[in-house]
Amino acid sequence: MNALLSVAGLRKSYGPIEVLKGIDFDVAPGEKIALIGPSGSGKSTCLRCMNFLEKPSAGEIRLDGERIGARNGHVMSDRQLAPQRAEMGMVFQLFNLWPHLSVTENVAIAARKVRGLPAAEARELALEMLAKVHMTHRADASPLELSGGQQQRVAIARALAQKPKLMLFDEPTSALDPELVQEVLKVMEELAAEGRTMLIVTHEIAFARDIADRVLFLDGGTIVEAGPARQVITAPREARTQAFLNKIRH
């Protein structure tokens, strides 16, 4: 089966500090992968390399067979990357909704500006996506009026409106008050059930165990352990994985 996303030999250095030391993995269509690991392990950096928000120092990233971020040996500019990035929907830890636009406009603007949809169609699409995340009742609100959980759900709708091949989640619940985490996880569960391809960086281990197909445990810039979600989390093979999971649980 052809992988939707394939990562080979991914390396990233900031000056003398090497944060990613050779990452290889594939994501099949419809697969859900959870990236877990201690802070500083490089998991966010790894995710951000997928859509070239971080530029890798070495390695190849392919989405649906197409090489991301590089053309003819040159790293692509932001302008050249735009069409490729549009194929991947990203959800950020700090939501990053645009406060000068309403909720609906936040979701619709990429469809209008990037795919050229007329305003009415874009708005319809936006409302459809907002319905998926149960936020249509605040369609005309300003992001500043929403709670963290609500903002993140709108952010998810915004990414969905791109009709992406792949959804990237960068610690989507880490910045939320504990009582707001569940509403976001529930939405992600529903998306997973739809068969979407998802790459999720998270600290929510129970969520990873139940929703992900596979789990990658990153530590110190390499994949220490990879395998079926349930197996890695309940019965890890590596000692470091076990040590990390113990720390998280207590």
Partner 1 sequence: MTGFSIFFSVVQGLVAGLGVTVFVTIASLALAAAFGFLLALLRQFAGIKFIDLAIDVCCEILCNVPALTHLFILYFGLASIGVKLTSITAAVLGLGLIGAAITCAIFRAGFAALPGGQAEAALAAGLTPLQTIFEILTPQAMRIALPGLGNYAVQLLKDTSVVSAIAAPEIMFFARSMVTSSFQTTMIYATAAALYLLLSLPLMQVTRFLERRYGRLKG
Question: Which parts of this chain interact with partner 1 (CB under 8 A)?
Answer: 51, 53, 77-79, 81-83, 85-90, 92, 94, 96-100, 109-110, 113-114, 144, 155, 158-159, 162
Q: In what order do the strands lie in the sheet with 32-36?
A: 88-91, 166-170, 198-201, 32-36, 214-219, 222-228
DSSP state of 142: -
- SS3 (DSSP) at 170: strand
Nearer Cβ to partner 1, position 99 or 195? 99
One-letter amino acid at 136 equals: T
**Among 149, 140, 142, CA closest to 100:** 142
- 83 Cβ neighbours under 8 A, 6+ residues apart: none
Q: What is the CA radius of gyration of the chain?
A: 18
Nearer Cβ to partner 1, position 94 or 206? 94
Neighbours of 92 (CB within 10 A): 19
**Shortest distance (Å) from residue 115 CB to partner 1:** 8
Nearer Cβ to partner 1, position 8 or 53? 53
**Shortest distance (Å) from residue 131 CB to partner 1:** 20
**Shortest distance (Å) from residue 225 CB to partner 1:** 29
Phi, psi angle pair for 140, to nearest 5°: -105, 10
Nearer Cβ to partner 1, position 155 or 232? 155
CA dist 200 and 133 (Å) reads 17
Which residues make beta-bridge pairs with 218?
Answer: 223
**Shortest distance (Å) from residue 155 CB to partner 1:** 8
Nearer Cβ to partner 1, position 69 or 236? 69
**Shortest distance (Å) from residue 165 CB to partner 1:** 12
Nearer Cβ to partner 1, position 79 or 247? 79
**Shortest distance (Å) from residue 198 CB to partner 1:** 15
> Contact 154/130 with Cβ under 8 angstroms?
yes
